[in-house]
Amino acid sequence: MLNDLDRRSRHPEYSLERAAQRDTAGSDRDRAFVLHLVQGVLRWRLRLDWIIQQGLRFPFRNIRPDVLNVLRLAVYQIFFMDRVPDSAAVNEAVKQVKGIAANHVVRSVNGILRQVCRGKMHICCPDRSSDVIHYLSVCHSYPEWLVRRWVKEMGEEDAEKLLAAGNRVPSLVVRTNTLKIARAELIALLQREGIAAKPTNFAPEGLVLEGLKGPVDRSPSLRSGYFQVQGEAAQVCSHLLSPESGETVLDVCSGLGGKSTHMAQLMRDRGLIVGIDRNRRKLQKLVESSLRLGIHVIEPLAGDAEQGLSRLLRCSFDRIMVDGPCSALGVISRHPDVKWNREEGDLLRLKKLQKRILDEACLLLRPGGKMLYATCTLSREENEDVAEAFLRGHREMKLVDLRKRAPAWAKDLVNDEGFLKCFPHLHGTDGFFGGVFEKLN
């Protein structure tokens, strides 16, 4: 799976799906263990590489990528997992390398790992006082360009708290489908299934699930359409746009449809939501979720939001949700591979793309209508800078100050500029940004 991710830059969940299809004999416990290992290696990869380098007598770059992944798996178990004996981690790594490399490589792997085990208590991070960026990069396992950017934007102390928050294993958050059940009733129903659930701190339909014995899609309540998996910050976004029953809504880059189905709930399944995305597989998932949740107002549409929305659609909308394609730096705890799949230059490229999509979307907004621009990233370049550039280019649009217009329960998530700004280390949510614009009459 790690080799596949290196080659294809896919999320680990997709690799796990393919692995599960190939190996139907594996138990839920085995699959959970595998995903834990993969996520753990991705989460701590840079620190694992630092540890491996401490026991090398040759250049690190000489290690073959597939052999390096075996070493990373072993070192992760040695340093981060109490229930796996060091000897078992070493022996399993040696066994794996025997199947892919020559004997001298096997001996080298064995020597590296035994050296790591012997020096386990003495391996530490680089000296903080000589280079704080390098220290934070290795200690928290993030690329230096991202550490440098966050330290510059929010200061060393807050940046380090954010780095630490991104390495925590996130809780599973779901959204109650209020078309079918109230949140308090769902908590009681889940308890009878053996799942503990508690309300989220902000989103009024959100629940944090604990005590799952297997994949969440095995829950009878999920199959019955009583809830949808969706992060808390993403749930807040739909409330900020606050579509009403009977309105027409456009969800640009709708993806799997978490926000589309949530908006349908808020509209009491009355009106019309057009969910547009260029990925047909995601649109199919949107259709399946709508059927399960009992939602009928969503019309999926395959199309590229960057290539002329106004030519694709010949109507105007009361509300528009633009869930902009972004660097996803706010959801690193859920997708740790994002750390290694992004480069600093991506932020400028994405900024230009987001601005083009906003320019297209606003042409379809009726006078008096509202548009929400949302991302799951923390980069000012992709957030406030995009919103400000958009407003400079569109005098017919004005910013809605969320300090005055957000629900009372969401006020703590609004910054001094009137934008939604969720931080993992401050709010316990994914990192999210949201700006609401209104078209003048």
Give the active site residue among 139, 237, 376, 422.
Answer: 376
C-alpha–C-alpha distance, residues 171 and 259, integer Å: 19
**Single-letter amino acid, residue 153:** E
Residue 118 is given by DSSP the state: H
User: In the structure encoding, which two tokens stand for residue 3, read together?
Assistant: 């080799």
CA distance 319 to 57: 61
Residue 288: how many other CB atoms lie within 10 Å:
12
Residue 4 to residue 43: CA distance in whole angstroms? 16
CA pair distance 63, 195, nearest whole angstrom: 44
Decide: 37 and 15 in contact? Cβ < 8 Å: no
Which are the contacts of 287, defined by CB distance < 8 A and separation ≥ 6?
A: 300
Among all chains, which residue has been given the structure tokens 């004005």?
A: 398
Distance CA 146, CA 117 (A): 31
Active site residue 376: yes
Q: How far is 101 from 289, CA to CA, in rounded Å?
A: 45
* Residue 156 main-chain phi, psi, to 5 deg: -65, -45
Round to whole Å and give the CA distance between 90 and 164: 28
d(CA 19, CA 207): 30
Q: Which residues are catalytic?
A: 376
